[in-house]
């Protein structure tokens, strides 16, 4: 990440509206925003809000109109007037500066809204959204930031305001801040920030890749940096490649694909010397990016057939066990090495 000599703005300062709007528009145009309206996978949550409504709506509207929105959904802090705040638009646009792919799980958004202490049930958030800034060895800070904890809280807040027809981009909320000195510290911070919830296997694999400097936020960055991973991250790297080749597929397809792809590739990475050499070199050696992309595309295009073959080969097993096995057989054939064998 490029480092610029800046100072974190004081809690009481207001970002320039034009600059803020430009950042938000740029992020939206690039498809890199946490604006829920850009995420069709949240349609069921929108329908749920329309059906169940939002308790405390009048209070939220009044707070938004008076520019006192933080306390509509957040607990008051000691020295509240000096709390560090960011606009919802700035937070949504921060997705454009991420180097690692962050996940939005509709079920987690639903839980924030209508769970035991759901904010759509007239409750307040128990924790602030946490954001992270980078600092170099000379002490210079990058003005860009990323969300390390609270993406689902942010999404839920914005969806509440959108359901009410309130202009949400300039509404401010209090956030907590962290400063890290590099990608390794950031990877550690984001793992620690998420220990309160169960992370998916895809998130864990991506965090491990992030820790090695592999960019997982976009395809171009991923293929530019994928060679930085080591043997233990190769299966996660292949799963990430499959993800980038399946962005036009439904969420459920992509989620299962990543599990099957990582599991199948891991069986090669941990297999015979021949299998291991082929699998690791494909990820780490120069000149193999096109071959990696083609293998990932093949896994996507053939997933249905691989699942059908797995049912025939291992009828007594469930998909989460048999499909990775069959995926490893398919991948071995494509790599030109002997396929793994398994006891039924």
Per-domain residue ranges of the chain: 17-197, 206-335
* Structure-block tokens of residue 140: 């210079």
* pLDDT band of 141, cuts 50, 70, 90: confident
Question: How much is the average pLDDT of 33-40?
Answer: 92
Give how far Cα 84 sits from Cα of 64, 110, 131, 173, 337, Å. 18, 27, 11, 8, 56
* Phi, psi torsion values for 88, nearest 5 degrees: -60, -35
The average pLDDT across 45-54 equals 95
User: Does position 4 have pLDDT exceeding 80, yes or no?
Assistant: no
pLDDT tier at 291 (50, 70, 90 boundaries)? Answer: very high
Q: Taking a C-beta distance cutoff of 8 angstroms, is the pair 327, 260 a contact?
A: yes
Q: What is the mean pLDDT of residues 136-163?
A: 90
Residue 124 or 207, more confident: 124
- Which range in 2-11, 212-221, 319-328 is most confidently predicted, on average pLDDT? 319-328
Report the alpha-carbon distance of residue 62 to residue 59 in Å, rounded: 5
Angle of helix 289-301 relative to helix 251-269, nearest 10 degrees, comes to: 120
Residue 195 — pLDDT band, cuts 50, 70, 90?
low
Report the C-alpha gap between 22 and 75 in whole angstroms. Answer: 31
pLDDT at 201: 67
Alpha-carbon span 227 to 273, nearest angstrom:
20
Q: Which pairing describes strands 129-135 and 85-87: parallel, antiparallel, or unpaired?
A: unpaired
The two three-digit tokens of residue 189, written as one number: 């911070």
- The span from the CA of 119 to the CA of 139, in Å, is 38
Burial class (CB in 10 A: 0-12, 13-18, 19+), 88: buried
Confidence (pLDDT) at 7 = 34
């Amino acid at each position: 990440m490029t480092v610029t000599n800046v100072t974190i703005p004081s809690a009481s300062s207001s970002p320039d509206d034009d600059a803020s709007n430009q950042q938000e528009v740029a992020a939206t145009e690039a498809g890199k925003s946490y604006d829920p309206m850009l995420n069709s996978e949240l349609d069921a949550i929108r329908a749920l809000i329309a059906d169940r409504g939002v308790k405390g709506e009048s209070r939220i509207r009044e707070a938004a109109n008076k520019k006192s929105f933080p306390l509509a959904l957040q607990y008051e802090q000691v020295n509240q007037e000096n709390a560090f705040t960011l606009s919802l638009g700035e937070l949504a646009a921060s997705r454009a500066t991420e180097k690692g792919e962050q996940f939005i799980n509709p079920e987690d958004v639903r839980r924030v809204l209508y769970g035991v202490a759901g904010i759509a049930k007239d409750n307040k958030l128990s924790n602030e959204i946490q954001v992270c800034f980078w600092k170099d060895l000379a002490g210079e800070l990058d003005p860009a930031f990323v969300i390390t904890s609270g993406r689902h809280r942010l999404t839920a807040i914005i969806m509440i305001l959108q359901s009410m027809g309130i202009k949400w981009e300039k509404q401010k909320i209090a956030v907590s801040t962290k400063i890290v000195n590099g990608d390794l510290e950031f990877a550690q911070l984001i793992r620690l920030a998420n220990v309160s919830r169960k992370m998916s296997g895809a998130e864990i694999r991506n965090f491990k890749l992030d820790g090695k400097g592999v960019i997982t936020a976009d395809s171009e960055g991923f293929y530019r940096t994928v060679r930085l991973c080591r043997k233990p991250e190769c299966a996660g790297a292949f799963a990430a490649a499959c993800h980038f080749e399946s962005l036009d597929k439904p969420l459920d397809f992509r989620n299962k694909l990543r599990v099957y792809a990582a599991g199948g590739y891991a069986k090669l990475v941990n297999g015979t010397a021949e299998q291991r050499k082929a699998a690791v070199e494909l990820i780490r050696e120069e000149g193999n990016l096109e071959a990696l992309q083609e293998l990932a595309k093949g896994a996507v295009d053939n997933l249905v057939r691989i699942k059908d073959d797995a049912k025939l080969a291992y009828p007594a097993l469930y998909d989460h066990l048999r499909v990775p096995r069959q995926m490893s057989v398919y991948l071995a054939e494509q790599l030109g090495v002997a396929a793994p064998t398994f006891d039924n």
